[in-house]
Structure 1
Amino acid sequence: MNVYTQFTPEAFVQKTQPSSLILLSPRSRSRNALLSWFLSDQSEAYYYALNQPVDLYGFLEQLVEGLRDFDSMFGTQSLQAVRSHASPAECAEALVADLRNAKPKPDYLVVDNADLLLNNPEVSREALLGFFERLVAALRTDPKVVLNSRLLDYQMWAKMVQQGTVQVVGDDETLDEGIFNPNKMAPAHLEVYGLAAGYVFVDGKPITTWDGPLPRNLFYFFVDHPMVTRDEVFQTFWPDLPTKEATNVFHVTKRKISERLGYELTQYSGGFYRPSGQMAVHYDVERFESIIEAARLNPPTDPKVWYSAIKLYRTPFLYKNDMAWVVKRREQLRLAYAEALIGIARLYRTQNDTERSIHFYLRAMREVPQREDIHRELMALYSSRGEINKAIAQYEKLSDILRRTLGIQPSKATQAMYNKIRAGKV
């Protein structure tokens, strides 16, 4: 069930009106919908997807070849720039000139798979900046260039985003409103997704190797415990090692973490290891738990509050890791997730939205199948919709679960509800 849709063409057009260069956030859930709109007849867009790694000259050559499907005469000045080995700025001016002369003239030039240019190690950041800075200045606002890339390098784009010459669309849908929020710029950004398969990004780039499981596990422990003593670390990771040996392993492992991140993750102060402050840390677990705690203190009346927590929980916490502290945290977070599902289901029921209420109760039941209150709610909802067979089947499902897992029957309250439903009294 798609509960909330983020993307509308009207909102996109209004939001990007002042910008000439638009970057699509790699982790925006609206990205595919936006690309589909560009490919439809509803937008005046030239679309091309790069198909192999390219430098700037190769980029222009591929682009010209692809865009001649829209305008058979497109690209005269771009190809001239390639033949003359023009500078990055001159290449940008040539492309802008071709876009202005294109027939029909597009509102957007959409470049898909742009990482084949942006993340090509053979193309220097200096050359890319020279090209895109000039492109932005020459385009002004018409037409607009849209880049879709699997990765966005924060250090490359941060200055242009802060200046307002480049806009990242969809970044505000992501964790902590993204790393490209012009009002919250930082020297560096660390994104940690413990509830989304354990992904880690530094300045928009993924960390794919850790030199073994120990640096990765210690990294997550530090992120999940932002204030921890050395003894707590040693007890968790090396309870059987003498202090001297544990100290040596700890410092070697900590150094490996710094090498992978390119920054110091922690600093030691006042007897505790704390965040170093070298990076702005975006941690989905921290955000998830803060939403849940706020909802406990002030029960929300808007389902979107609960949903903002639910959408963060994409996978069980570090689900491939079986360390004791991870297993314990995984269970805590799973129960909190179930609480959010129950919370939103109850709100929808109070709003008489039985379809959505049932949807979220069923999801909660998969997390905590032995909770009778969830089954009773489902029985009542099905009965209110006249779906008596489903209500009875729900009771039978509960009976089977309790018999197999606990060796007991449903409570008297649940049995009484079941009997009333069978008798047509609910």
Structure 2
Amino acid sequence: MSTFSLSAFLQRTQGKKVVLIYPWSNLKTQFLSSYLDQAKDGILYYRVPGETVNLVDWIDGMLNEFRTVLGDKFGKKTSAALAERIPAHIGEALASDLGAVVKSETILYLDDLDQINFDDEFNHWAQAFVSALPEKLQLVISARMLSRHPWDHMVASGDAVVIGVETRKSAMAFTVDTDDRPQLECYAFGRGNILLNGKPVTTWEGTLPRTLAFFLIDHPLVTRDEIFHAFWPDLSVKDATNVFHVTKRKVNERVTSRIDDDKQYELTQYTSGFYVASEKLVRHYDVQEFQEAVQQALVASDDRREQLLYQRAIDLYRAPFLQTVNQPWANDRRDELRRLYAVALTGMGRIFLRKGEMNRALGFLSRAAREAPEREDVHRDVIRLYLEFGMIHEARQQYDVMEQALSSSMNLQPTKDSRALLESIKARS
């Protein structure tokens, strides 16, 4: 393996019209965070939302989002082309509109592009867009289906490069895998999915092997006693050991079955008294990505970087952690991540407060108060916004929700600052 910095990453991709980042989400945050550390401008980021179904809709959504940055007049040619619904014309028009506003070297980062269909319509658009890209604009894409047309032709022609990397927590550096180890993807928000080289593990021979697999991925450094306490607290050490080894064997069999070679693979390896991630697999975990995004946002040096990182975290939190698993360890972890999600929502809301975008601030802060009803400070932010909008009834309702949440969760009464808001509500009722 070789480690290289962002400058080396940019050097490797220099002269390429398209950079295809393999979909390991750790890289996405590291790339964006590192890039924003070194470039105050020079990146346009758009995440394709999950509900997008066609080319016209997602291009139109991207135009609307970019207008908040590039001005209301941006995208006139593209809007006209969208009305015609001819994919190649849309691609050419978008390249022209971007070229008119981009004054220096700029990256257009399209995230989660596999939310849309890579059909003939998309292929015609992509070929036309890339062909018409101005020299100062580079397209960076993160999506799962990177080997398909039109990307394969672009890579073959030299217009595109594929970056397949694994990230490490080391000063925003990238680690490039020079071997061909299998890739394990774990998505634990929602019901949970585990993929090996893009192939989902659909059968686990029971609930226990599946749950143990998620536990081991979520606990990258764990002792045998901790595993036994989480799964078999009432069994003797001997019995727990037997059940554990049988279950772990089933997990490893399922992992091996999804990899197309003759080798045997294990999810973990045992080192110095701990079960740790196996060195035979490259592991990518959405929960880790989520946590790192929030942590980096909390220490971000400017609102632009902070907002991008919080938005990335919010996008990753698609649903509560392993929402169908009802075990103490999973329930505790679910609560922990829910509170961290509330931190991201609160951070976004307060960014929009600073910007004076009160409606957007209210949306994020209201969601944060629902996710973390024990956060009195967030309730106060929501109440103040309701008062600013003249929504006195809603302000009183929010106060009552806060009062009930504090009483039921911590047996506390609202603080002096909160009671002062109640007096303001009463005075305006």
TM-score w.r.t. structure 1 length?
0.59
Deviations 1:229-265 (A, max 9, x none): 2222223222333333333322221121122112321
> 2:155 aligns to what?
164
Aligned to 1:311, the other structure's residue is in SS state helix
> 1:32 aligns to what?
53
> 2:269 aligns to what?
267
> 1:246 aligns to what?
240
Shift of 1:378: 1.4
Which protein has greater RCO, CA pairs closer than 8 Å, 6+ apart? 2
Number of aligned residues: 306
> 2:119 aligns to what?
110
Aligned to 1:329, the other structure's residue is in SS state helix
> 1:323 aligns to what?
327
Shift of 1:281: 1.0
Aligned to 2:283, the other structure's residue is in SS state strand
Correspondent of 2:418 among 391, 414, 418: 414
Q: Return 5+ residue gaps in structure 2 as ranges.
A: 1-14, 25-46, 60-80, 89-116, 122-126, 131-142, 168-173, 257-264
Deviations 1:27-49 (A, max 9, x none): 96366243757996645459xxx
Change (3 A) 1:401 1:219: closer
Paired residues for 1:49-198 under 5 Å: 110-111=119-120, 164-165=155-156, 186-198=180-192
> 1:283 aligns to what?
285
Correspondent of 2:252 among 248, 258, 261: 258
> 1:74 aligns to what?
none
Shift of 1:300: 5.2
Answer yes or no: is 1:384 the counterpart of 2:382. Answer: no
> 1:84 aligns to what?
none
> 1:87 aligns to what?
none
Q: Return 5+ residue gaps in structure 1 as ranges.
A: 1-14, 47-107, 113-140, 145-150
Conserved? CA contact 2:56–2:85, under 8 Å: no
Shift of 1:321: 0.9
Correspondent of 2:336 among 328, 332, 339: 332
In the alignment, the residues of structure 2 paired with residue 215 and residue 365 of structure 1 have an alpha-carbon distance, to the nearest angstrom, of 36
Change (3 A) 1:408 1:199: same
Change (3 A) 1:336 1:406: closer
In the alignment, the residues of structure 1 paired with residue 341 and residue 297 of structure 2 have an alpha-carbon distance, to the nearest angstrom, of 12
Deviations 1:256-305 (A, max 9, x none): 11221123211122222111122221111111112222334446523222
Conserved? CA contact 2:186–2:192, under 8 Å: yes
In the alignment, the residues of structure 2 paired with residue 269 and residue 255 of structure 1 have an alpha-carbon distance, to the nearest angstrom, of 18
Deviations 1:19-78 (A, max 9, x none): 9x9x999x96366243757996645459xxxxxxxxxxxxxxxxxxxxxxxxxxxxxxxx
In the alignment, the residues of structure 1 paired with residue 224 and residue 242 of structure 2 have an alpha-carbon distance, to the nearest angstrom, of 12
Paired residues for 1:295-374 under 5 Å: 295-298=297-300, 301-302=303-304, 303-374=307-378
Aligned to 1:418, the other structure's residue is in SS state helix
Aligned to 2:228, the other structure's residue is in SS state helix
In the alignment, the residues of structure 1 paired with residue 272 and residue 153 of structure 2 have an alpha-carbon distance, to the nearest angstrom, of 36
In the alignment, the residues of structure 1 paired with residue 230 and residue 157 of structure 2 have an alpha-carbon distance, to the nearest angstrom, of 45
Deviations 1:358-390 (A, max 9, x none): 001110111122433222211222233344444
Aligned to 2:303, the other structure's residue is in SS state coil
> 1:6 aligns to what?
none
Deviations 1:91-134 (A, max 9, x none): xxxxxxxxxxxxxxxxx99359xxxxxxxxxxxxxxxxxxxxxx
TM-score w.r.t. structure 2 length?
0.59
Conserved? CA contact 1:109–1:143, under 8 Å: no
Residue type at the aligned position of 1:290: E
RMSD: 4.6
> 2:6 aligns to what?
none
Shift of 1:400: 5.4
In the alignment, the residues of structure 1 paired with residue 199 and residue 361 of structure 2 have an alpha-carbon distance, to the nearest angstrom, of 38
> 1:224 aligns to what?
218
Residue type at the aligned position of 1:326: A
Larger CA deviation: 318-327 vs 407-416: 407-416
In the alignment, the residues of structure 1 paired with residue 363 and residue 386 of structure 2 have an alpha-carbon distance, to the nearest angstrom, of 12
Higher alpha-carbon Rg = 1
Conserved? CA contact 1:37–1:43, under 8 Å: no
